Amino acid sequence: MAAKTAFIDFVELKNRVGIEQMARMALGDLNKKGQAFKAPCPLHGGEITISPHVVFKRDGTLGVFCCHSSAGSQGGDGIGLVAHVRQIGQKEAADLIASHFGPNPGEPRKPAPAVMPERISANPPREAQADLAAKLGKIAAELKPEHEAVQALDIDADTAKTWGVGWKGNGPFGGRVLFPLKDHAGVLKGFACFSPEKSPNWLLPDNIDPEHFIFGADAVQDGGHIVIAATPADVVRASQYGDQAVCFLTQEKTAYQAELFAALLARKNCTW
Ligand SMILES: [Zn+2]
């Protein structure tokens, strides 16, 4: 972590780190809605709107947020957003942002872990959410957790069942062991598909943007220690031995993924 400075120039910080980056640091995934972003408020249960192009009147910087909840609306700038979500003061929030992003917010600050699923296509299809959910649910129900290909990964049937991991016999991604990919609300979005024999070993369906997933994040318990594993199979295996692990689905870790991970650590009060 960068050393804390006694004085932080809020305007300089906000011009350097956009409200969108601050929001991802504090909230994890954001949904884009027109020019704005939305995310649930972890404190108030309502929705936070983040508007990167709206001028913050007090000092003329860009980016404001508003938390809409039954407790009433609260708003402010990006620093205020971090303060709001973490329930800390403005100065403390500014310190946190400055030390989180360092001098170059575009640069990842941690070495990249090694995992290597490849994507089939860069363009996600515009499939209706409900259709996709039904299709994924059907696939999940047909997976075989006790299959020998799962055992061969040193994952026992009970653990596989708990994680929703199993062998898919036929159809798309057939002949592979599937690992469910969930968003941070725990909603199934697709599968990472493994075969020791096929090339590439790891496949992701084309609706999955690997940068947006940290495998195992939805299973992380409050207040523990997190290990970064190499593959989803390692994450599941670690859980068998009582270790809590997650993994990234890309070879290189981007700044965005570093923020997602930092947000996960903060949300769950975990160390790594
Ligand atoms: Zn709120």
Mean pLDDT rounded to a whole number for the chain = 84
What distance in angstroms lies between residue 77's CA and the mean position of ligand 1's atoms? Answer: 13
Is pLDDT of 251 > 60? yes
What distance in angstroms lies between residue 65's CA and the mean position of ligand 1's atoms? Answer: 10
pLDDT tens per residue, range 6-60: 578 899 899 999 999 999 999 999 999 888 899 999 888 889 999 998 888 888 8
What distance in angstroms lies between residue 201's CA and the mean position of ligand 1's atoms? Answer: 42
CA distances from 158 to 32, 150, 181, 239 (A): 38, 11, 19, 11
What distance in angstroms lies between residue 66's CA and the mean position of ligand 1's atoms? Answer: 8
What distance in angstroms lies between residue 81's CA and the mean position of ligand 1's atoms? Answer: 9
pLDDT tens per residue, range 71-125: 778 889 999 999 999 989 999 999 999 988 876 544 443 333 334 333 333 334 4
CA distance linking residue 55 with residue 250, whole number of Å? 35
What distance in angstroms lies between residue 179's CA and the mean position of ligand 1's atoms? Answer: 33
Shortest CA distance to 160 belongs to which of 142, 147, 141, 173?
147
CA distance linking residue 253 with residue 249, whole number of Å? 9
Q: 50 by DSSP, 3-state: which?
A: strand
What distance in angstroms lies between residue 231's CA and the mean position of ligand 1's atoms? Answer: 35
Band of pLDDT at residue 4, cut at 50, 70 and 90: very low
What distance in angstroms lies between residue 180's CA and the mean position of ligand 1's atoms? Answer: 30
What distance in angstroms lies between residue 162's CA and the mean position of ligand 1's atoms? Answer: 33
What is the fold of 10-101? DNA Primase; Chain A (3.90.580)
- Residue 76's beta-bridge partner residues? 65
What distance in angstroms lies between residue 28's CA and the mean position of ligand 1's atoms? Answer: 15
What distance in angstroms lies between residue 38's CA and the mean position of ligand 1's atoms? Answer: 12
What distance in angstroms lies between residue 22's CA and the mean position of ligand 1's atoms? Answer: 15
Task: Note the Cα 15 to chain centre separation in Å.
Answer: 25
What distance in angstroms lies between residue 56's CA and the mean position of ligand 1's atoms? Answer: 18
User: pTM (2 decimals)?
Assistant: 0.55
Task: Note the Cα 99 to chain centre separation in Å.
Answer: 20
Shortest CA distance to 159 belongs to which of 88, 270, 243?
243
The answer to whether the CB of 224 falls within 8 A of the CB of 217 is no
What distance in angstroms lies between residue 83's CA and the mean position of ligand 1's atoms? Answer: 10
What is the enclosing helix (H) or strand (E) of 82? helix 78-86
What distance in angstroms lies between residue 245's CA and the mean position of ligand 1's atoms? Answer: 29
- CB burial class (10 A; 0-12, 13-18, 19+) of residue 21? buried
Same CATH topology for 10-101 and 126-268?
no
Class of the CATH domain delimited by 126-268: alpha beta
Q: Where are the domains of the chain?
A: 10-101, 126-268
